[in-house]
Amino acid sequence: MRNRPENHLFYGDNLAVLRKEVADESVDLIYLDPPFNSNANYGILFKEPDGKSSNAQIEAFEDTWHWNERAEDAFDQVQRSGNTKAFDLLNAMRGFLGDNDMMAYLAMMAVRLLELHRVLKPTGSLYLHCDPTASHYLKLLLDATFGKRHFQNEIIWSYRRWPSVSHRFQRMHDCLLFYTKRESGNLFNTLTVPPSPSSQKRWKGALQKVTFTAAGVRNPTLESGVSLGVAMNDVWDIPIIAPVSKERLGYPTQKPVALLERIIAASSNEGDVVLDPFCGCGTAVHAAEKLGRQWIGIDVTHLAISLIEKRMKDAFPAVTFTVEGTPKDLASAYDLALRDKYQFQWWAVSMVDALPFGGRKKGADGGIDGLIYFNDHDVASGKMVTHRAIVSVKGGLNPDTAMVETLAATIAREKAPIGILIMNAKPTREMERRAAAVGIYRAGVDETFPKLQILTLADLFQGLRPRIPNVDRAAFRRAAREATVYQASLL
């Protein structure tokens, strides 16, 4: 077991987290995949326990950018940053593009790139992942922020996917813009790929001892000093994650672990710190943990944070990390409820290990914020069947019997055996009486469970959870368990 500080997962705006939590020149490698696809909304896909696609698709984040007060403020922050080259470029872009969605995105990115440059060590590297929609603009921003002489590569990640009907060539690649903090002397481990067939024939005996992984290997040599591999070039042919792959967790922009392993192996060493400020479903921190690095992940949605928590614990049962920014007491939970009711709902649902349901569209959830699947014996058919327990979350401080009546009506409408009401306030006696009047659910031979259960946030912080029989965990896509012993070499 390697001896290193705890890893960190932060919920919040990465700009604020970087400024508050990440020290100057403390990070060895930065990978970021900032979303940009105008007018697109991304959802996290879940599945029913039987493996079928679930209608519990959550609109995780709205990837639309508009020129508004936030964009104007970001533009102003770049102006006041002292980096005249970055502001001059951003100002020129604004004159060319105008105050539109792309300009809003670039302003928001520019102020964050300045912070990422600050936290990067002198020997460190940054890889910005993007598609051709905005790669040319982002490269100019990186030239202004890091310096054009610090540009190392435009890496083309080439992949195949099901082609679509189009009046242009099929788009089958993304770009990785590779920059370093200084012009030379940055940390870089040369990775190699298998040599040509003729070279393989000459070195057959030696090559039997070498395994070339998706990430590549550090340059192995014969005793005579002859290289056993060819230095890797800037076109990487790595498959995307197939829809049926066990690696896929349902996140819309999920990248393959092999891609991140290659980046991390090339530009960091064991024990180094890897930062992903847009960590999504956590592929970068997963790869960092797998390769023995420290890591910091930041994301602005509780859905992503809870997904990464589950992913890391499934893949690395002994992993240790802290989660910052999520509610740790009643005051912070209520504060989140006031600031963003959807983030509050997703956090509360994750506290009871429920599948989040619905999204940001008004009325889309039908009064359902989460689902807990469970199995029970059906007397009529004599078979085990899967049921759904409904979770409803209320963040207000004023208890109301309407909360119970609404959930009771939803239970009846959905023919659900059990409903869970999670509320901030303490329920009144009348609410408890009406909840009890909904009745009892009988499971197995002699087990009974209240059909409508009320849990407060105080209950959750004390470790109390819903009473539900035979909970079915198959609805959550689990990350495959990784080897518990880190291999120090990729050989």
Residue 237 and residue 179 in one domain = yes
Domain residues for the domain of 216 are 191-230
Residue 274 and residue 168 in one domain = yes
270 or 170: which leads in pLDDT:
270
Residue the block writes with tokens 């928590």: 309
Residue 334 and residue 226 in one domain = no
Quick one: pLDDT at residue 279?
Answer: 92
Q: String of b and e for 45-55 (b: at least 16 CB within 10 Å)?
A: bbbbbeeeebe
Q: Is 322 exposed, middle or buried (0-12, 13-18, 19+ CB in 10 A)?
A: exposed
| Domain of residue 455, CATH code | 3.40.1350.10
Q: Please check whether residue 475 is in contact with residue 49, taking contact to mean a CB–CB distance below 8 angstroms.
A: yes
Residue 435 and residue 406 in one domain = yes
270 or 489: which leads in pLDDT:
270
In a domain, 60, yes or no: yes
Structure tokens of 101? 């969605």
Residue 312 and residue 412 in one domain = no
Per the structure, the count of domains in the chain is 3
DSSP annotation of 473:
G
313 or 243: which leads in pLDDT:
313
In a domain, 488, yes or no: no
Residue 295 and residue 337 in one domain = no
- State the average pLDDT for the chain: 84
Residue 406 and residue 355 in one domain = yes
Residue 383 and residue 448 in one domain = yes
In a domain, 481, yes or no: no
307 or 361: which leads in pLDDT:
307
Residue 12 and residue 148 in one domain = yes
What's the pLDDT tens digit per position in 304-357?
898 899 899 999 999 999 999 889 899 999 999 998 888 899 899 999 989 888
In a domain, 28, yes or no: yes
Structure tokens of 327? 């509610």
Quick one: pLDDT at residue 272?
Answer: 96
Q: What sign for the dihedral angle of Cα 407, 410, 415, 421?
A: negative
Residue 18 and residue 160 in one domain = yes
Q: Which amino acid would we find at residue 460?
A: L
In a domain, 490, yes or no: no
Which one, of 233, 231, 224, 232, lies nearest residue 203 by Cα? 224
Alpha helices by DSSP H, listed for 120-207, are 135-146, 197-202, 204-207
Residue 284 and residue 369 in one domain = no
In a domain, 483, yes or no: no
Residue 240 and residue 226 in one domain = no
